[in-house]
Amino acid sequence: MFKSRAKKDLSRTDEELVSLLQKEMDADRFAVLYDRYSTKVYQKCVGMTRDRDLAKDLTHDIFLKIFVSLSKFDHRSKFGTWVYSVTYNYCLDTLRKNQRHREEDIDERTQEGLPTDTTSEAALLGLRAERLDHVLEQLDAMDRGVLLMKYEDELPVTDMMATLGIGESAVKMRLMRARERAIAKYHELYPDEP
């Protein structure tokens, strides 16, 4: 019986598994979700922290948090989006604690006519790729996080809004400012580059 249930659980969607787990917690069922997402969570943690050992610890902590908070998942978004949001926010909180300084709040009032900022995006994408990793390490956690969401994870603005818990104009403003700071840091670190 156990083998047939385990096989059946492997074929279930994330949402089906979560619904079953919300009714009755089961470590074997949760392990199916863990197996599906642990590599992605670990990679996101490495990308944000730039520390493989810390990323392993964070991955463990994140799945513990997901396990404990699973009853709060409301099925309004995909389970994978929720996992990404928990991962991003947990990593960001950890980095903030480690840095021991408060991030600047961005004015989240809706701003009419936000610039499309294609100039700074084109400039950022034109920087030498092998040097960008070093530049990202030098940025603060919030800037690094939004840039990785946009360019590494290729998240649409709507998913970024859900992850960050802010409006569209605030997401666009954070992206624009992060790109500008990345470009400035690049030119600071590599003044010989055009």
Note the pLDDT tens digit of each residue in 99-148. Answer: 654 344 333 433 444 445 555 565 555 555 667 778 888 888 889 889 88
What does the pLDDT read at residue 153? 83
With H, G, I as helix, E, B as strand and everything else as coil, classify residue 71.
helix
- Asked whether this chain's domains 2-99 and 118-189 adopt the same fold, the reply is no
- Cβ-proximal residues to 52 (8 Å cutoff; 6+ apart), any chain: 46
Q: At what angle do helices 118-125 and 168-189 cross, to 10 degrees?
A: 40
100: tokens are 């021991």
| Cα Rg of the chain (Å, integer) | 19
Is the pTM value of this prediction over 0.85?
A: no
82: tokens are 């929720």
CA 69, 72, 78, 82 dihedral sign is: negative
Domain boundaries, the chain: 2-99, 118-189
Range 180-192 average pLDDT: 87
What does the pLDDT read at residue 165? 86
What does the pLDDT read at residue 162? 85
Class of domain 2-99: mainly alpha
Q: Does residue 67 register a pLDDT over 70?
A: yes
Supply the mean pLDDT for the chain: 82
User: Which of residues 133 and 57 earns the better pLDDT score?
Assistant: 57
What does the pLDDT read at residue 148? 87
Class of domain 118-189: mainly alpha
